[in-house]
Amino acid sequence: MTGIDPAIVAAGLAIGFLVGLTGMGGGALMTPTLVFLFGVNPLTAISSDVVTSLFMKPAGAIVHLVRRTAHLRLVLWLCVGSVPAAFVGALLVDRMRGVPGFEDLLLRMLGVALLITSGGLIARAWSTMVRHHSPLGEGPAEPKRPRIVVRPLPTALLGAVAGLLVGMTSVGAGSLVLTVLLLIYPGLKPSQLVGTDLVQAIPLVASASLGHLLFGEVSFALTGSLLVGAIPGAFLGAQVSSRAPGGLIRRALAILLMASGLKLIGVSSALVLILTGAAAVLGPLTWMVLKRRFRGTRAADANAHGRGRA
């Protein structure tokens, strides 16, 4: 393609808005959209999406750096693993592109990455609900937190896995990173979790972008069209995010990503429809039960605090 494509701009605007609204990476939505809706070659979609992400990440990261809500030692150790792994992922894609059937394999890998992202979104909501006794799966930071003791090896390994996923599939590993960081460092504040992930994503994506610029199939026309829509879309989404039920939107996206992932790994359309329908029906029902449970717990906690003050 040559020049700015209005349809691609519109897609970039919509996906950028969702990124700003929910805080999740755009790769999980952008690459499948390019492949499914616009018929873009998977290699080109992945390479162009990675470069697009490089220009979408800094705005949020700068905010967290200014507010000092990024844990910089964790950022360092995540980058120790993620930066070289992201470059290696792009290099592996280049070296394997001549292998027969590699494009199909890449689509399946993309599907697995989407399923991991979907699972990460659900696990993150569940974990936050349990920690904060919040029926919406979101919660404020607690006033006191234990001191964070950085564990270099597991942190670097987490970074390496995330970097390899991004380098090979373009799917942002933010949900995976947030979920595992929460397991390794339960004392991290929610703002620190998000800030740490956003800041470490910049060198990660920069490394992956360099690899794809050197070895991939970046379409600058496609990237330009995406950026024209994605940058203002992300800004608008960020402005709305404080008023919208972000947790609810993330859970809806989890179902969408699950459906896309299942389709990419070769599951039949009929079975994808059945599983997606089941998730759409059973998911909210399960959430209603959990909401009642944690709403009661939260009310009981509030009453206990009230009696304590009395």
Instruction: Report residue 15 CA to chain centroid gap.
Output: 12
Q: Please, what's the b/e burial string for 261-293 (b: 16 or more CB within 10 A of its CB; e: otherwise)? A: bbbbeebeeeebeeebeebeeebeeebeebbee
What are 17-57's pLDDT values in tens digits?
Answer: 877 666 566 666 788 888 888 888 888 888 888 888 888 77
* pLDDT over threshold 70, residue 167: yes
For tokens 């990237």, name the residue: 223
Distance CA(246)–CA(91), nearest Å, equals 36
The CA-atom distances, in angstroms, between 31 and each of 149, 193, 223 are 37, 25, 12
Token duo for residue 70? 């990024």
* pLDDT over threshold 80, residue 62: no
Q: Cα torsion for 89, 254, 137, 72, to the nearest 10°? A: 10
Q: Is the model more confident about 64 or about 211?
A: 211
pLDDT of the residue at 81: 94
Contact yes or no for 173/119 (Cβ under 8 A): no
Residue 27's nearest CA partner among 288, 285, 208 is 208
Distance CA(101)–CA(183), nearest Å, equals 37
Percent of the chain with pLDDT over 70: 74
Distance CA(172)–CA(295), nearest Å, equals 32
Distance CA(110)–CA(96), nearest Å, equals 15
What are 223-280's pLDDT values in tens digits?
Answer: 999 999 988 887 777 666 545 555 566 677 677 778 878 877 888 878 888 888 888 7
Distance CA(209)–CA(18), nearest Å, equals 22
200, with CB counted inside 10 A (0-12, 13-18, 19+), is buried
Distance CA(52)–CA(45), nearest Å, equals 10
Token duo for residue 87? 């470059």
Residue 51's nearest CA partner among 198, 160, 177, 166 is 166
| ∠ CA 261-267-273, rounded to 5° | 80
Token duo for residue 263? 């389709």
